[in-house]
Amino acid sequence: MRSSSSLKVCFLAGTLGRGGAERQLSHMLRSLIGAGVETRVICLTKGEPFEHEIKALGVDTSWVGESPYRPFRLRHIIKELRREPAHILQSTHFYTNLYAGVAARAVGIKDIGAVRSNLSSELKCNGLMGWGHFYFPRHLITNSNLARLRAIKLGISSRRIDFVPNAVEQTGERKVANEKQKPICILFAGRLTSEKRPDRFLRVVSRTMQACSEKHVKAVIAGDGPLKPRLKELAQTLGLSPDKLEFLGELADINSAYQKADILMLTSDWEGTPNVLLEAMSYGLPVIATRVGGVPEIVDAGRGFVAEPADESGLVAAAIRLIGDADLRKSFGERGREYVSESHSIQALGKRLISTYERVLAG
């Protein structure tokens, strides 16, 4: 078996903008570099935030998106792989799986596709092409066990798909301010898009504030996206004035938002393994989340609350309970931080990836 120090892995990314898959790519690169694996990145876009972060790691990044036409992009990917050969071409996004599968076969190397959410949503969003992105790769990596089980039910052999949980950087202890001197802050962090349901977050925090009128509660949204104008209109309709709700926009460093928050709320309709939950828990934040994707595996008893996506009353009840119980917030936060440290470290990510690579190359 080839040693990790002689292994070359090329990643194919659809974008390097600010997002969960892109952040995980950065973590994967760091973990593999630490293990002595030679890495590089081919991307369909250029000049985005994570490109600069990846280049700062010393990783070569090539742009292959000059043409909007898929055959020309594919030809450019193949050309890049022939210019600098690799043992494995690994797709970072579901919608780049076909590129990776075809290009890898063309140059005679192994390919790995990505399932970054719950699989059902990815198949739905990609139409007929989605089935190609799903079935064509010779191996798949998913970041939620739910997606892995769904793939197996759809005919993928269990030997062809691995569950590799997301990783997060371990942080220092969050500094908790005197609650008498600050409002209790409920944080939403993520893209303002339909699947993340920031509208649900606004309705839930509005009802929570009404029920906890004797408490000083504030909501914060960290992130940007196409729904922002409509969300601001909804906030006005719900009576969420700027002193009750703050839009931070897209943050270059989300850590500052975690530091100032007291509760993290995730209101998505679908997810894989949400980075935002793991990051918040690494800061010792108690979490409230919808029961989607890999969330139940993360937010187990004693680390937070989960509710069905349509159960806004359940989300409100969880928020009310955490707002009224500082000891419970502390207990959830400590257990969550310990869980992330044990199960979602960058070092563990590298070991899981190399184990997958060894089996793919041996197959």
One digit per residue, the tens of pLDDT, for the chain of length 363 reads 556 668 999 999 999 998 889 999 999 999 999 999 999 999 999 999 999 999 999 999 999 999 999 999 999 999 999 999 999 999 999 999 999 999 999 999 999 999 998 899 999 999 999 999 999 999 999 999 999 999 999 999 999 999 999 999 876 666 665 556 689 999 999 999 999 999 999 999 999 999 999 999 999 999 999 999 999 999 999 999 999 999 999 998 888 999 999 999 999 999 988 999 999 999 999 999 999 988 998 998 789 999 999 999 999 999 999 999 999 999 999 999 999 988 898 888 999 999 999 999 998
Mention every residue, 6+ apart, whose C-beta is less than 8 A from residue 185.
Answer: 217, 218, 219, 220, 260, 261, 262, 263
CATH classification (class only), 179-343: alpha beta
Q: Is 33 exposed, middle or buried (0-12, 13-18, 19+ CB in 10 A)?
A: middle
Residue 22 token pair? 């892109």
Residue whose pair of structure tokens reads 């059902």 in the numeric block: 120
Q: Residue 214 CB: number of other CB atoms within 10 A?
A: 7
Query: Which regions of the chain does DSSP assign to beta strands (E)?
Result: 8-13, 38-43, 60-63, 88-91, 110-115, 140-142, 161-163, 184-189, 217-222, 245-249, 263-266, 287-290, 304-307
Indicate the DSSP class of residue 17: S
What are the beta bridge partners of residue 63?
43
Residue 74 token pair? 């594919």
Q: Judge contact between 141 and 164, C-beta under 8 A.
A: yes
Among 82, 101, 94, 74, CA closest to 14: 94
- Give a three-class secondary structure readout of 312-353: HHHHHHHHHHHHCCHHHHHHHHHHHHHHHHHHCCHHHHHHHH
Give the pLDDT of residue 176.
61
Residue 270 token pair? 């679908």
Rounded to an integer, what distance in angstroms lies between the CA atom of residue 69 and that of residue 109?
24
Q: Residue 153 CB: number of other CB atoms within 10 A?
A: 9
CA distances from 268 to 197, 220, 347 (A): 5, 16, 28
CATH match of 4-167+345-362 with 3.40.50.2000: yes
| For the chain, the helix, strand and coil percentages under 3-state DSSP, each to the nearest 5 | 50, 15, 35
Q: What pTM, to 2 d.p., does this model score?
A: 0.83
Q: Judge contact between 57 and 37, C-beta under 8 A.
A: no
Segments making up each domain of the chain, as ranges? 4-167+345-362, 179-343
Q: Judge contact between 186 and 217, C-beta under 8 A.
A: yes
Give the pLDDT of residue 273.
86
